[in-house]
Amino acid sequence: MQAMFSEKQKKFINEQRVMRFNSHTSSRNIHSIPICFAFDGTNIYAHRANPDAQRWKNVEKNDAVSVEMDHYVDDWSDLKGVMIYGKASFLDSGPEQKKAVSLLKQKYSQYQQRLSDSVVVVKVAPTRVISWGALSK
């Protein structure tokens, strides 16, 4: 079942420039890495620049992933963040892949020249969303 986002969560996610992508290694350890992403209000997208990267090998074996975005400030009353659990899949063509590439290029100017329109995209379909701090008020 697809998770739903509040308007506060959507706004926060769209304001973030990087997320932590968490996958499981074959030895059941968590592999966490910061990556750039795009969000369409429903799903999270990232590009698969290096198919040999550990995070993508992990997804090929276990599609259960989580992503996390947070905002830290010294005034802890303003801390906030979102943890999204979901299922990852690879999109190598089709309308959704094209939409995801477009979203990534819109968000990151660096991708205008560096990201091929035919790049494989990783989609995270959220199954559970948890937020904290100022986002849970």
**CATH number of 67's domain:** 2.30.110.10
Residue 2: predicted pLDDT: 76
- Would you say residue 2 lies in a domain? no
SS3 content of the chain, % helix, strand, coil (to 5): 30, 35, 35
SS3 5: coil
Q: What is the total count of domains within the chain?
A: 1
Residue 11: predicted pLDDT: 95
In angstroms, rounded to a whole number, what is the distance separating the alpha carbons of residues 96 and 16? 22
- Would you say residue 111 lies in a domain? yes
- Would you say residue 125 lies in a domain? yes
- Would you say residue 51 lies in a domain? yes
**pLDDT tens digit sequence for 4-59:** 899 999 999 999 999 999 999 888 888 899 999 999 999 999 998 787 888 888 88
Report, as an integer, the average pLDDT of 54-83.
91
Residue 106: predicted pLDDT: 96
Residue 126: predicted pLDDT: 97
Confidence of residue 134 (pLDDT cuts 50, 70, 90): confident
User: How much is the pTM?
Assistant: 0.92
- Would you say residue 52 lies in a domain? yes
Residue 137: predicted pLDDT: 61
> Does the pLDDT of residue 93 top 80, yes or no?
yes
Residue 34: predicted pLDDT: 93
In angstroms, rounded to a whole number, what is the distance separating the alpha carbons of residues 129 and 106? 25
